[in-house]
A and B are shown apart, each in its own frame.
Chain A
């Protein structure tokens, strides 16, 4: 019985792992191909099945027929991390407020305010392109990193609020009340007592912010011209009428690199039981 259970368990894990890894392996193999290797059918193993070429990788670093992604890479890091940081700060404060105090304005209650935050993510971005464009033009922020940060704050803060409200709701109120009895104001309570215990929640919320910011294509694309390019935009500039399977494969691998590091950080907090620690 137990062996059967174990077998099922590890089979499931391995099956899902192969599903997860499959596109990356294929992309890795494809990134060393040329047009001829691609058109000769599905091949996997370099040298044995096809003659490998570095063309796909070179084209990402300003090689012939390519684009240089190092500038956009840096831009993406700057925009993603500043927008995430600001969203996380403002979002965490708002979430704490929503979790601990009653707000009321006419028929509007806490739940409605929380939903208002989350509802910002419902709107398909397409129609927002023109108004955001006009707004940034008025502010003189078109084609600039600051303009993108501004827009991304609206995009990311809802996520931070949503994660953190849930998180704070799970922290017993007794913790706050004890601090208040000790004479702390709500603000000092938050910074001295709650925040130090919130690292796990912050990590998850921060990770979602970074992921959604890093992977946004649409606004990075519509609100810039030539000066400010983010990574996804630079990468799709290689997607011509003939899709270059090789360089897009290479770029897919390269663009996730920093986020994979993030996955390790998040996992660390999970493993330490960090996410649970604060709540119990």
Chain B
């Protein structure tokens, strides 16, 4: 209540030309940071009498900051801002139906960046003034790449996402456990550098109580539920076998022939390792969605997991049972990598890693919107310095580092009380992914949903033992050929060329 009064009072002050810079602190965001879309700058605008419609993810991930900043934006500018929250599984169709039927339902959209291949013709380009804004310029090259379609910037970066490994630092550093591991496995316990090591460690740590909680612990929590982002987990696992650092010209498809590569030996081995890892899953682990994975790792049940930042930040929250006992590392790699040019396995001394820039949250303004000026102001306000610094610190918001300045360990240790070692391993991992030479992006082409849902169905059949890995991926490849045929090979190639250009640029 007092918050509302403060805001009303403050916005009244703004309209009358008063000082807007103190508001951000009063509403709990922290000090306003001067810039094109600071609280002060936005407070000087008057959008009263106009409405802004926003569609976003369910609360809290991305949905809660959307609503929070919408509320502030409304009070600063007098605009009437409506927000609708939609679960991830339904978000695509909820945006796509109005697009395809020519209905200007929403001005601002928050969605998964991999859908740009389907959405791009309905999105407005980011105006030059916003692209030149220093805050936008500070976004790392990787995330500006993500925001770009061809040579046009269509997506407004407000989040940075990637997959990486999370593990229980306290267990890996526990000498007793290290000794036990050495005794049984004949080698030192190290942070897994390959997926083979990952599986080995995960299976070793499954089925006994290694944290003394009285409950049985397990090795690995992964997102495996078929229609719940499992395709991302699988790509993470297959990428180091299938993405040869010296081979250019496509990861999902051979760009020239548009022949699917999904059933080539690298991918098949990734799937075989995925299937083996079932032995290290907690009960029900083959049906885990992202939420289950986060609960399992964050609740201390499992030793390792890999997915987005959410699980890490969640595990580092103040009330978390494993706060400051969590380490981050790049995803494991592979010492044998399939080279599709020579048709042979190449051996690497230093494991080959692939930085999978797993689709993340992004935002955009609809081309059909009648309120583009206001919409871009809102997005710019959402991502202004003060708001971003605030959002990064709230784990459940799901806003993760994407500007150079965010990769600074002291930000995390000072603001959030993380131990230095943890903060260091976090930012180092993120920076390493961001600057990695062997990058993998999502299949950002029209019909990405069809490609990924047939992939998920195939992988799921193999995981359930209905088919072998090779058979399952062969049938996925068949389906992919049919999808390409329906869309038109040239059309998919044109889109996929954009992705390959990003991957081959380094």
Contact = CB atoms under 8 A, between A and B. Distances in A.
Interface of A: 34-36, 38-41, 59, 65-67, 129-130, 133-134, 137, 142-143, 221-222, 224-227, 229, 236-244
The 6 A-B pairs at the shortest CB distance, nearest first, are namely: A39-B299, A237-B85, A226-B82, A242-B291, A240-B58, A225-B105
A222 B98 CA distance: 10
A32 to B, nearest CB: 16
B291 A243 contact: yes
Interface in B274-291: 289-291
Contacts, number: 110
A66 B53 contact: no
Contacts of B300: 39
Interface residues of B, number: 46
A227 B52 CA distance: 11
A226 B103 contact: no
B82 A137 contact: no
Given A143-B105, A229-B84, A238 B59 contact: yes
Contacts of A224: 84
Contacts of A40: 299, 321
A91 to B, nearest CB: 30
27 contacts: A35-B295, A35-B319, A39-B298, A39-B299, A40-B299, A40-B321, A59-B59, A65-B59, A129-B93, A129-B97, A130-B97, A130-B101, A133-B101, A134-B101, A142-B103, A222-B94, A222-B97, A225-B55, A225-B84, A226-B82, A227-B82, A236-B58, A237-B84, A239-B58, A241-B58, A241-B291, A243-B291
B294 interface: yes
B237 interface: no
Nearest to B86: A237
A39 B301 contact: yes
Main secondary structure of the interface of A (DSSP, over half): loop
Most A C-beta atoms less than 10 A away, residue of B98, B289, B314: B98
B54 interface: yes
A59 B100 CA distance: 34
B208 interface: no
Contact of A226 (B84, B100, B289): B84
A35 B86 contact: no
Interface string B82-116: 11111110100110011011010110000000000
A41 B216 CA distance: 12
Contacts of B85: 67, 237-238
A244 B229 CA distance: 18
B226 interface: no
Given A133-B97, A240-B63, 9 more contacts: A137-B103, A142-B105, A222-B97, A225-B105, A226-B83, A226-B84, A241-B229, A242-B61, A243-B291
A36 B322 CA distance: 11
Contacts of A41: 215
Interface in B299-321: 299-301, 310, 314, 319-321
Nearest to A38: B295
B450 to A, nearest CB: 16
Contacts of A130: 97, 100-101
A244 B60 CA distance: 9
Contacts of B215: 41
A65 B396 contact: yes
A13 to B, nearest CB: 33
Contacts of B295: 35, 38-39, 242
A126 to B, nearest CB: 9
Contact of A65 (B64, B86, B299): B64
B57 interface: yes
Contacts of A243: 289, 291
A242 B100 CA distance: 30
A221 B82 contact: no
A226 B84 CA distance: 5
Nearest to B89: A239
A24 to B, nearest CB: 22
A66 to B, nearest CB: 7
A39 B298 CA distance: 8
Interface string B378-421: 00000000000000000010100000000000000000000000
Contact of B290 (A36, A133, A241): A241
Contact of B298 (A35, A129, A142, A221): A35
A237 B97 contact: no
Given A226-B53, A226-B54, A137 B101 contact: yes
Nearest to B82: A226
A60 to B, nearest CB: 11
Contacts of A242: 60-61, 290-291, 294-295, 310, 314, 396
